[in-house]
Structure 1
Amino acid sequence: MRPIKLNLTNFGPFLNETIDFNNVENNQLFLISGKTGSGKTMIFDAIVFALFGEASTKDRKESDLRSHFAESKKPMVVEFEFKLRNQYFKIQRQGAFIKEGNKNKTLGQLAVYQYEQDDYALRESKINSGNQFIKALLGVNAEQFRQLFILPQGEFKRFLLSKSVEKQDILRTLFNSQRFEEIQKKLSDDVKEVREQIEKRYNDLENHWKELETFDDETLCEHKVISARQTNNIIKVLPDFKMKAQIIRDDFEQKKEILKNKVNSTENALNNNIKLEDALNKLNENQQKYEALLVNENEIQEKVKRVTEINEVRPITNLLEVKENTISKKGKVAQSIEEKSKSIFDLEDKIKQSNLEADNLKEKQDDIEELRRFIEQTQLFFEKANKYKDAYNNYQFTKTAFTDLEAHLTQKNEEIKDTTAKLNQRQPDYRKIEQITEAIYNLNNDIKQLKQNEKDKIEYDALEKRKMQKQRNLKDLSQKRVQLNEEYNNIDKSKLDLNNKQDVIATVQAALHTGETCPICGNEIHTLSSHVDFDEIMERHQQLTLLEEKIATVKGDIIKCESELSHIEEQLSKYTIASLENINYEALEDEVEKKYQEKKKIDEENNEIEKLKDQLQQYEKSSHDLQMNIQKKEHILKENETAINDFENTTGYKRVDEFLTKFEDAYNQIRQFDQTLNEIEQKIQNYKSTLAIEKNSVTYLKNNLAEIETEINETDMKINEEMQRIGFTSIEQVEKVTAQASEKQNLEKEIETFKKEKQSYELYIAQLKAETNNKKLDDTQQLKERFEEMQQVYETASTELSQHDYKMEFNSKKITEINKIIDELNSELQSQQEVFQLAEILAGKNEQKLTLENYVLIYYLERILTQANQRLAIMTGQRYQLTRRAQISQGYSGLEIDVFDAHSNQSRHITSLSGGETFQASLALALGLSEIVQQESGGISLDSMFVDEGFGTLDQETLETALDTLLSLKSTGRMVGIISHVSELKQRIPLILEVTTEQYQSTTHFKKQ
C-alpha cells in the first residue's frame, strides 16, 4: 500500500490540511520534521483512523483525535487516497461527535471508493461492512497494520529485551496463534472426556458384574471371583450364567404346572357347593316375603279408587287458582296507578323550582364572560410563568455581567497591543540554526577525521614496528630451516624399511632350517644367523622423525610469519602519508565552540519569540472567548427585555406572582359558574325525562286494569261449566276433593311399588327352584379348608418361579450391558490410543517440553531472527547475529533472544550490547518482524513504512549506520518516512515534510534540500 493523498479536517492540530505524497516521487526516503507537539505522529493517526477507525497507538481514543478548536457543528473528517496492487482507492471516514445544543451524539460515517473509468465509484457506505471490506482488501487487522506501517519509538527495544512470556503476548497477537492453544485445549478436553468416559465404563462394568445373580450355584460363584477389568475372561464365562439359570427354571416350571391342576379341581368343587347352599337359602327367604306381600292387596285396591276421583276434579282446581291470581294482580295495578299520580305532581313542582335557580344564576353571565376573555388572552403567560420569573430575576444579573465582560475585553486588548509591540513582527530564525548546525556537523566531521588520522598514525607506527620484528623473525626461521635440512640429509637412510620388522624376522627364522629353500627369495638357506643391527636402525629412524617434526614446525612458523607480514603490508597499504601528517584539530575545536555559542544565542532569541507568540496566542484566544461571551450576554439581555415587555403589555401586571393570583382566581370563578349552571340544567332535563315516563306508565296501567276485570269474568263462567259436567253443586265439594290432591303422588307410588315387588318375587322364586332341583349339598367348610391348603402350596411354587424369572431377566439385562460395555471399551481403547499420545505431545509432554502454540511461536521467531540477521550482519560488519536461546523447561520457553559475537565465537546475553548496538539490533528486529508479518498476512504489499525510533538519542556513528540501513529499504521500492527533529538528518535526507505549528493549528509542506 502506497499513500497518495491525505486530507484532514478538524483532526488534531490540522483544521483543514492536505498532504500530497506524490511530492515524494522517486525520492523514496523522506524526513518528517517539526517541533515537539507539532503533530507529526497525528499524520499516522489519521491514516490508521481512515483505515480502521482507531489511532496509531492504543492509548489514544477516537474522541482524543478531534481538534479542540474545531467549530462545534462541524465534524472531524479524514479522506485518504492510496494505491494497492495497481489499483486506487479512497476512504472518507467521519468521526462521531456531539453538536452544540444537542444531547445525542451524531454518529460516524464511512465511505469506501475504488477508482474505475476515470472516476471513484462507491463500494461501501456502512461502517461495519466498510470495515470488513478494508480489512479484506489490506489482509491485516489494525494491530498488524501498526507493526507493518509504523515502527514506534522504543517498542522494539522492549521486544528485543523482553522475556518469553512478554514476547508470547506480542507474537500471538500478530500471528493469531491463539488458535493453536484452542486446538490443544480442545484436544485435551476431548481426551479428558474420553478417559473419563472409559473409566466410567469400567465402573459400570464392575457394578454390573457384581450385581450378576449366581443362583447359589458353585460354578457361577467361582466365576464371580474374576476381576471386572479381565474382560476377555468375563466374555468366556457369561454363557454359563444363562445355561444354569435355564436348567433351574425348567424344574420350577414343571412343579408349578402339577400344583396348578390340583388347585383348579379343588376350587371348582368348593364353588359349586357354595352356589347350591346359597340358592336354597334364598328360595326359602323369598317365599316368606311373597306371602307377607299378598296380605296388603285389598288396601291397595281402595287406594286406586281414591286416585281416580282426584284426577277428575283437577281442571276446576286450576281455574280457581287462576281466578285468585288475577284478583291479586288487579289490586296491585290499582295501587301503582295511585303512586304514579303522586310522583307526577312532585316532579312538576321540582321543575318549576329548578327553572327559578337557573334564571338567578344567569344574571352573572356578563361578569363571567369578561373573566373568560382575560383567561384566553393570558393563558400562554400563565403556562410559562417560570420563564418570565427567570427573565425578571436574570435581567439585572446579566446586565452587570455584561458590563464586567466589556471591561475585561478592554484590558485583554491592551495586553495584546503590548505583546504585539514587544514581538515587533519578529520571527524565529530556524534557517540560521540549521546553517550553524550544518557548519557544526561539518566541523565535527573534520575533527573526527583528524582524530582518526591521529589514531591511524599511531596504528601505522605500531604496524611498521611489527613489520620489522616479523622480518627479523622470518630471517632467523629461514636460517634454522636450512640447518635442519642439512642435518636431515647427512643421516644414512639405508635399511630403514626393516625398522619394526625384528619380531617378524625372528618368527621366520624359527620356522626355517639350513639347506631349505627361502620362501621369500627362493634360494637355498646357508645360515640363519642375524646380520642386521636393529638397534642402530631404530636410533637413526628416531633421529629422522625428530628432525622431520622440527622442520615441519619451522615451516609452519615461516608460513605464519609470512602470512602476518602479508596482512601487515595489506593494512599499511590502507594509509596515506599525507593524511597521517594532518592531525592538528585544536583550531577546529575552538571554531566548533564559537559556533555552539552562536547557536545558543540564536536559540535563546528564538525561544523568547516563541514564548511571546504563545503568550499572544493565549491573549487572542482569551479576547475571542470574551467577545463570544459578550455577544451571548447581549443576546440574553435582549431576550429578557422582550419577554418582560410582552408580559407587562398583555397582562397589565409588573409582578408575576400578582398575575398568577389574579389568573387562578378568575379561572376558579369561571369553573364554579360553569359547573353550577350545568348541574341545574342537567337536573331539569332529568326531571322532564322522569315526568314523561311516569305519565306513560299511568296510561299503560289503566288499560291493563280493564283487561284484568274482563279476565276475571271469563274465569267465573268456565268454573260453573266444569262443576256442572262433574256433578258438583257447590264450591265446598270441590274444595274437599282438592284438599286430598296432595296425597295423590304417594298413593300412586305405593300402588306401583306393590305391583313391582309382586312380579319380582314370582320370577325369582321360579329361577331358584330350577337351580336347586335334584342336587345334593356337601360340607362347605371341609371343601374350603382343602382348597386353601392347595392354593398356598401353589402360590409358593409360583413365587419361587417368578423370583427366578426376575433374576433371569435381571441377569439377561446385565449380560447385555456387560457385552455392550466391553465392546465399547475395546473399540474406544483401540481408536483413541494415538489421540492420547498426540494430546500429551501437544500439551508439552515431549523432549523439548513445548506446547503446540509455543512451538509455532518459536517457528515464527526464528523466521524473524533470520530476516533480521540479514541486516544486522551488514550494520555490525558481520560481527553480530541474533539467536534464540535454546532451553528445555515447562511452559512458554525458548523465546529469549541472545546475540552471537563472531569476534569471541560464542553467544552472550542481549543486555551486554552497548546502547548503539542495542539500537541496531532493535531496528533490525523491527524490520524483520514487519517483513515476516507481511508475508504471513496473505502476501500483502505495503509499499511504505514510517519509522519513529528515537534518532535523537544516537551518536554520530550509530546514526550513520541506521540511516544506511533505512536507505537500503529505499532500494526495495518502499516509501520510507522518518519521524524526527534531529538536525543532522536534514543533511542526509534531501526531501523533508515540514510540520509547522502556528498558534492553535499546524500546517505541512514538502521542501527539498
Structure 2
Amino acid sequence: MRPLKLRISGLNSFVEEQVIDFERLTERGLFGIFGPTGSGKSTIIDAITLSMYGKIPRNSREFINTNSISTSVSYEFEIGIGAERKRYIVERNIKKDLKTGGYKTTLARIREMGEKGEKVLCEGDREVQKKIAEILGLTAEDFTRSVVLPQGKFSDFLKLTGKDRRDMLERIFGLEKYGNNLLKKIREVKNEKNLILNRVSGELSRYEGVSSEALQEMTKKLEILKGQEEKLAAEKNRLDLEKEKLKAIWEKQQELNQYLQKKELLEGKIEEIERKKVKIKKAEKALSVKPYIDAVNETNSKIAQNKEEVEKYTKELTVIEENLKKIEKEYDIALQKKEEKIPLLIEKEEKLKRALQIQKEVKTINEEREKLLKTYRAVEKEIEKLKKELEILSNDIEITKKVLEDKDKKIEELKISSGQREKIFSALEVQKEFERIEKDKREKEVKIFELEEAIKRQQKEHERLKNLIKQKEEEIQALEEKIRNLEGHMPPTSDELLIMQQQLEEQKSKFLEAKENDELRQNIKGILDEISDLKGKLKEQIKKLEDDIKTKSKQLENLTKEIEEIQRQNIAGELAKDLEEGMPCPVCGSVHHVKLAQKIDEELINEKRAFEEIFKREIEEFQNQLLKLKGELVALEAKEEFHKKEYDRLEEKLKGIDIKAFEQNVGQLQLRFEKAKLKTERWNKEKEEINALLKKLGEEKAQLDLEEARLKESLGKDVKALKELKVSVEELSRAYSCILDQLESLRTELEIRDFKQKVIEINEKDREVEKLQKESELLEKKLEELVNKKEILSNKINELLIKKAQIVEIGKEKSKYLQERQKEIDILSEGKEIENYLKEVQRERENILKEEKILKEQFENEKKKRQETENKKVSALENQILLNNMLKDQFEKLNASISKNGFKDEKEVMECFLDEGTIKSLEEEIKNFENEYISICSNIERLDSTLNGQRIEEEVWRNLEEKIKETEQALTEKRKEIGATQKTLEDIQNNLQKVEELTEQKKELEQLLDMLEDLDKLFQGNHFVEFVATRQLKLITFSASKRLKEITRGRYALELDSDNNFVMRDDFNGGTRRSVDTLSGGETFLTSLSLALALSSHIQLKGRAPLEFFFLDEGFGSLDSELLDVVMTSLERLRNDKMVVGIISHVEELKNRVPVKLIIIPPSTAGEGSKVRIEYS
C-alpha cells in the first residue's frame, strides 16, 4: 500500500482542513515529518489509522479539537501489483454527541477510483473496517505495528528474555490459538466425535436382520417377474402391429362416411342456392336505380327545410323592429342623466378621499400614542425591578466577603511544613520496601515447599513410565513374530487376481456381445419380413394411381375440346344477335340471314369449366400421391438393403458360437475368481489388523517415550529451580533483617507506627486545602462579578429615568396635532361616516355610466341583428328557386332508369334492393357451396378408389382395441410389481452397503478418537505454543541479521544462543559473540532497528499486498552527531522503488539529510489549528 493524499480537519491540534500530498512527499523514497513538540506530527499517523479503522493508535478519548464539534479525515491510497493495482479513498466524519458526551460516526465510506469513474464499495463503520481488513489483509493492531515503530520501544524486544519475550511473540503473532484455544477445540472435536460414534453404533443396531440370503431370494423373484414382463411385451407388440395394418383402412373408411353425410346435406340446399342467384340479379339492377331515388329524396328534404327557414326569418324581423324602438327610447333618457350628474359626483368623491387620508394619519398618531403609553408603563416597572435587584446585590456582596475570610483562616490551619512532609514520605518508601521483601520471602518459601512436593510426584511418575515402556516393547516383539508367520502362507497376490479378473471380464464381454448380436439378428429378420409386405402393397397402390391418372387425363382432354366448341358457337350467336334483314353479315357479308346461330347459356359454360378445374385438381393430386408413394418405395428398398447387409454381417460373426456353452464357461471362471479374491481379502484383513495394532502400540510407546523425556527434562528444571530459590531466600532473609532495623529507627524518631495511614491523612488534608483554595478563587471571582453587576444596575436606573421624561413631552405634542386634524375631517365629510359615504358616491357614478353603456351596446346590437336577418331571408328565397328546378330534372332521370331496368315503379325497386355487402355475402355463400360440393365429390371418389372395396367391421376394430388396452394394463401392473421388487432389492443392497459403511465409519472414528486423546495430552501445558513462538523468533532473527549485515556493510550479525537469547556476532573481529547487554548505544540502536524492521515485515506478511511504506517515530534527540549520521545512512539504504521510509522528529539536524520534508506548524494562540507545508532540501 502506498499513500497518495490525506485530508484532516478537527483532529487533535488540527482545526481547518489540511491536505498532505503523499505523492510529492514520497517521490524520493525517504521523507521526514518535522515540527516542535505538540505540533501534531503523530496526528498524521492517527488520521490514517482513524480513516481506515475508526480508532487511533494511542486510544485517546479526546481526539476532537476543542474548537470543533466534529473531525473529518479522507485518506487516498494505492495497493496491489501490476494490473491488479487499485486506488481507493476512505472517508470518515466523527461528531461529538452533546447528549451522552461520547462520539458518533456520521459518515464512513470507501470508494474505488477507476478509469470509468468512482464506485462506492460500502458505507458504515463496521462495513468499512471489514472492507479495509479484506483489502489490506491486516487488522488495526497489525497495521499500527507494521506502519509505526514507536518511540523508546526499539530496544525492549532486543533485551527481553525467557517468558516475557515468548509472551510478547504470542501476543503479536496471535499464538494464543495454539494454546488453550487449540486444546479447547481438540476437546470440542473429541466430544463431537464421541457423539457421532454413539450415533453410528445406534444406527448399526437398526439394520439387524439385513443379510445376503434375503438379497438372493429377492433377486430370483425379480428374474421371474422380468420373464413374465417379456412375454406380455411380445404379445403387445404383436397386437400393435396388427392394429397398425388395419388402422389405415379404418381411418379411410371413417373419412368416407363423413364425406357421404356432408354430400347428402349439401344436395338438400341446391334449390335455396338457385333462388339466391335470381335474387342477386334483381338486386344488382335495383342498385343502379337507387342513386336516383336517393337524389330526389334528398332534394325534397332540402326544399322543406328551406321553406321553414324563410318563415322563421320573417317572424324574427318583426320582433327585432319592436325591440329596436323600445331600446332607442331608454338610451336617450340614460344619456341625459349622465351629462347632468357625473361632474357633481366626481367633485364630492375627491373631498371624501382627502378626508379619508387625514383619518389614516390620525389613526397612525393614535397608535404611536398608545405605544408611548405602553413604553412609559414598562419603563416605570423596569425601574422598580432594578431597584429591588440593586438591594439584593448589596446584601450578596457583604455575605460573600465574610465567607471568603472564613475559608482563608481554615487553609492556614490545614497546611503541613515541607520538612515534615519529606521525612514522612521517605519513611513510607522504606516501609514499602520492607513489605515487598517480606512478601517475596514468604512467596518463595511457599514455592520451595511446592517444588519439593512436585519433584517427589515426578520421580514416582518417571518410574511408572519406564515400566510401561518396557511392557509395550514386549507386546510389539510378539506382534512382529505373528506377521512373519503370516507372510510365510501368502494367498494369490493382487497382480495375480488382476490377471484373473481381466480374463473373466474379457470372457464376459465376448459372451454379452455374442448374446446381443443373436438378439439383434432375430429382430432384423422380423423387420425384413415387414418391409417385404409393405413393398408389395406400395407397388399395387402405384399401379392403381397410374391407371387413374390415364383415365382422368383422357376425360379432361374430351371436356376441353367440348368447351372450345361451345365457345365458338357462343361467339357466332353474339354476332347474330345484332343482325337485321338487309344489313351485311360481318363474317360472310350476306344480307339475307336464313338460319342465325343461337347464343348458348353462360351457366352451361361455367358448369363445364368447373368440371374441367375438378379434373385438373384430381390429376394433380394423383400425381402428388404417386410421387410420394414412389419416394416411400425407394426409401423402403434402401432400408431393406441396409438390413440385409447387417443381417449377413451378424450371421458371419455368430458362426460356430454356442451361446449356452459360452454362458456356462463364464460362470465357472466367475466362481474361481470369487474364491481366490475372498481368500486374499481375509489374509489382507488379518495382516492389516496386526499392522494397525502394531502401529497403535508403536504410537503408544512413542507417546510414552515423549512423556518420559518431558518428565525427565521437567524434573531437571525443577531441581535446578529449587536450588536457585533456596539461595534467593537466604539473600532475602539478610535484607529483611537490615531494613527492619532501619524502619524501627524511623518509627521511633517520627513517633509514627503506620506511615501509609499518615500519608493518607496528609493527602486528605492536601485535597481539602486544594478544594478550599478553589472555592476561595471562585468566591473572589463571584465577588468581582457582583460589584460589576451593582455598578451596571445603577447606570441602567439613571438611563431609564431620563427616558421616562422624554416620553411625557412627546405625548403632549401628539394630542394637540390630533385635535386640529379632526376638525378638518368633519368639514370634508359633511359629518357622515367617510368610507360608507365615499362608497355610496362611487356606486352612484358607476351605475349611471354602466346603464348608459349597456343601453348603447344593446341599441347597436339590435341594428346589426336586423341587417343580418334580412340578408339570410333573401338568401333562402334564392335557394328555394334553385331547388325546385333541380327536383324537376331529377324526377325525369329517375323515371328513365326505372323503365330501363324493367321495374314498374319506385316501390318495386326498393323491394328488390340489397346493399353491396349483402350481395357480396350471397355471392360468397354460393361460391363456397359450389366449391365444397365439388371437393366432397372428389374426396368420395378418391376414398372409394383407395379402399378398393376393402372394409372393416366396427365390432372387429373395437375388440382389437379392447384387447390391446387389457394387455397394456397387465404390462403396466407387471412393471409396477417389478419396480416395487427392484426397490425392495435396492433397499436391501443399500442397507447392506450402509452396514459396511457404518462399520468402516465406526472403525475410523475409534482410530480418530485415539489420536485426539493423544493430542489432548500433548497440548496440555503450553508446550506447543512455546515451540511455535521459538520458530517465529528464529525466522525474525534470521531476517534481522540479514538486514543488520546490509546496514553495517557485513560487520555485525544477530544470533540466538542455546537459551534462545540474542547475541551479537562481530565478523570483523574473528566472529566474536557478545551479549546484547554489552553493546554501545549506536550498536544497540542499529541492532534494535534491524530487529524491529524484521518484526514489522513478518507482521506485514499476513497482508495480501505489501504496505510499501512505514514510519519511524523515534527520539533522535538522544543521539550524538556521529550516531545520527550512522542511523540516517542506514535508513537511506533501506529506501527503494517498493519501500518508502518516513521519519517523525523534532531534531533540526535531520532536516538536511532528508530530501523531502513535511513541516508541521503548531496551533496559534488566536485559535487557528496546525498547518502543513512541503519543503525540499
Q: Same fold (TM over 0.5)?
A: no
Structure of higher RCO (CA pairs closer than 8 Å, 6+ residues apart): 2
- TM-score, normalised to structure 2's length? 0.30
- TM-score, normalised to structure 1's length? 0.35
